[in-house]
Amino acid sequence: MLQIYNTLNRRKEPFKPLKAGHVGLYVCGITVYDECHVGHGRVMIVYDVLFRHLQSAGYLVNYVRNITDVDDKIIKRAAEQNVTPGQLSQRYIEKMHADERALNVLPPVHEPRATESIKSMVRIIGQLIESGHAYAADNGDVFYSVKSFAEYGKLSGRKVDELRAGERVAVDEYKRDPLDFVLWKSSKPGEPSWPSPWGDGRPGWHIECSAMSMDLLGEEFDIHGGGADLQFPHHENEIAQSEALTGGRFARYWMHNGLVRIGDEKMSKSLNNFMTIGDVLAHYSGEEIRTFIIGSHYRSPLNYTTEALLAARTALRRFYTALRGRPVDREALTQASTAVDTTALDAGYLERFEAAMDDDLNTPEALAVLHELANSLNKEADLESAVSRKLASTLVYLGGRLGVLDKDPEVMLQGEASEDGPSAAQIDTLIKERQAARAAKDFSRSDQIRDELAAQGVVLEDAGGKTTWRRD
């Protein structure tokens, strides 16, 4: 049974969905005012792995990941670039989708935009005012009253009195309490706005997720995910406003992935120490970036280093090298996970992989299973034996569960030539010349060809009377 570390209760818990066979999953998405960085990529990949794992377990998953397309940062950046906020957000939504495709991230079932859910937000805010949990200020803003919700702080473990005494909170003369947070912002000249009973304006950030999740998953759902930096105040505020509205529980399990760090600081746009996904894709493949991210447990901090990315590249090449030349029915293994005939796979490796993934998505341990599987595969000299076929199929299937190993090994290992590197045809010609030299016992020329290719980043591998090559 899947065990999930529930931030709300600070322990691993068996996962039991509200409705048998169904899972409602909501993940806080991106505020689209700039390109996505590696920290955003980690959110995409972590919950994509969860999505895949739940589907493979036979669940029908209603996966919702929102887009915040109205926000102070979006408005400010649009003004700087002399475009409308809608034009700016659309540009970065398209770039975000391109990044997701490069990282082999499956699209969620629903991807609501904040601007499409304004009516729901206005309705919820009105109900919170009626029930005494929110109030309209004289300036047209609407605030949530934190003291009206007795359980405020239960997710983060922070106490209201301590927050008032020691935390830096937004100061606003119109708030009744410094901890109160905005649900509706009155519009300023030139800003996008929508009508409401309290005047034209736009929603605060926190109310967006409550409205969109309830619209698509209901008042109570199974799993709410996001980055650790959202635990407080964003997720805390979501709970407060949602549970005050319904009188019941909001999300049953709260999952938070650790942050990506550069040195001793988290990667963020506000600190200007971030690497965009596009920046990294210029030097590493999406599959290499994905392997780097799943190489650490999702709850742990992830240190962004060149060494770690190169280690991910090495691991991938090792897997693909083990698969090279071995017949695998990829189409059968990459269909809907529940439709795969797992009886044709190695039961021992499959069981160990499932155990790792059921242990709070322990992807490092799952990757260790793949490494052992590659070791076993490399010992099978007969590429087409029954054992070889079973092991190779298992490696491809389990890799697919993690969103990797979906390429033809030859294509992946040989890659594309650099501008000054030899083409595949040139390499094949040199290999034939080398074979002729070896047949003529001209080992000096044979070694020279090997060295020339190695100097150009091409590695020759002799096995079973054949020579294969890969780009290094």
Q: Which domains does the chain have, with CATH numbers?
A: 3-113+205-266 (3.40.50.620), 305-412 (1.20.120.640), 416-471 (no CATH)
Q: Of 92, 82, 79, 87, give the one whose Cα is nearest residue 33.
A: 92
What is the predicted pLDDT for the residue at 100?
A: 98
Identify any residues that bridge with 23 across adjacent strands, giving them in sequence order: 61
What is the predicted pLDDT for the residue at 170?
A: 53
Phi first, then psi: give them for residue 277, nearest 5 degrees: -60, -40
What is the predicted pLDDT for the residue at 28?
A: 97
| 269 labelled binding-site residue | yes
What is the predicted pLDDT for the residue at 317?
A: 94
Both structure tokens of 403: 């969103």
Residue 169 reports pLDDT greater than 60: no
| 238 labelled binding-site residue | yes
Do the bridges between strand 201-203 and strand 181-186 make them parallel or antiparallel, or are there none, so unpaired?
antiparallel
Task: Please tell me which residue, 200 or 436, carries the higher pLDDT value.
Answer: 200
Reported confidence tier of residue 161, pLDDT bands at 50, 70, 90: confident
Exposure string over 126-163, b if 16+ CB within 10 A, otherwise e: bebbeeebbbbbeebbbbbbbebbeebbebbebebeeb
What is the predicted pLDDT for the residue at 420?
A: 67
Residue 381 reports pLDDT greater than 60: yes
Reported confidence tier of residue 149, pLDDT bands at 50, 70, 90: very high
Average pLDDT, the chain: 92
| 234 labelled binding-site residue | yes
Both structure tokens of 342: 């797992």
Distances 223 to 17, 149, 237, 254, 446 between C-alpha atoms, Å:
9, 22, 16, 6, 60
pLDDT in tens, 281-339: 999 999 999 999 999 999 999 999 999 999 999 999 999 999 998 988 887 776 555 56
pLDDT in tens, 1-44: 999 999 999 999 999 999 999 999 999 999 999 999 999 999 99
Q: What is the radius of gyration, based on Cα positions, of the chain?
A: 26
Task: Please tell me which residue, 458 or 50, carries the higher pLDDT value.
Answer: 50
Average pLDDT over residues 357-378: 98
Give the burial class of 189: count Cβ atoms within 10 A of its Cβ; 0-12 exposed, 13-18 middle, 19 or more buried.
exposed
Residue 212 reports pLDDT greater than 70: yes
Reported confidence tier of residue 461, pLDDT bands at 50, 70, 90: confident
What is the predicted pLDDT for the residue at 417?
A: 57
Residue 167 reports pLDDT greater than 60: no
What is the predicted pLDDT for the residue at 318?
A: 95
What is the predicted pLDDT for the residue at 432?
A: 83
pLDDT in tens, 398-453: 999 999 999 999 888 887 656 667 887 888 888 888 988 888 888 888 888 888 88
What is the predicted pLDDT for the residue at 338?
A: 59
Distance CA 335, CA 319 (A): 21
Residue 166 reports pLDDT greater than 90: no
Both structure tokens of 304: 């962004």
Residue 119 reports pLDDT greater than 90: yes
pLDDT in tens, 75-102: 999 999 999 999 999 999 999 999 999 9
Reported confidence tier of residue 106, pLDDT bands at 50, 70, 90: very high
Identify any residues that bridge with 24 across adjacent strands, giving them in sequence order: 62
What is the predicted pLDDT for the residue at 419?
A: 61
Reported confidence tier of residue 472, pLDDT bands at 50, 70, 90: confident
| 94 labelled binding-site residue | no
What is the predicted pLDDT for the residue at 270?
A: 64
What is the predicted pLDDT for the residue at 201?
A: 97
Phi first, then psi: give them for residue 184, nearest 5 degrees: -140, 130
Reported confidence tier of residue 112, pLDDT bands at 50, 70, 90: very high
| 461 labelled binding-site residue | no
What is the predicted pLDDT for the residue at 464?
A: 65
Reported confidence tier of residue 183, pLDDT bands at 50, 70, 90: very high
Average pLDDT over residues 250-271: 85
Average pLDDT over residues 277-284: 95
pTM, two decimals, is 0.89
DSSP 194: B
Query: Can you say whether the dihedral through the CA atoms of 440, 446, 449, 450 is positive or negative?
Result: positive
What is the predicted pLDDT for the residue at 360?
A: 98
Measure the CA dihedral 101/103/108/114, to 10°.
-80
Residue 384 reports pLDDT greater than 80: yes
Q: Of 250, 253, 218, give the one whose Cα is nearest residue 237.
A: 250
What is the predicted pLDDT for the residue at 103?
A: 98
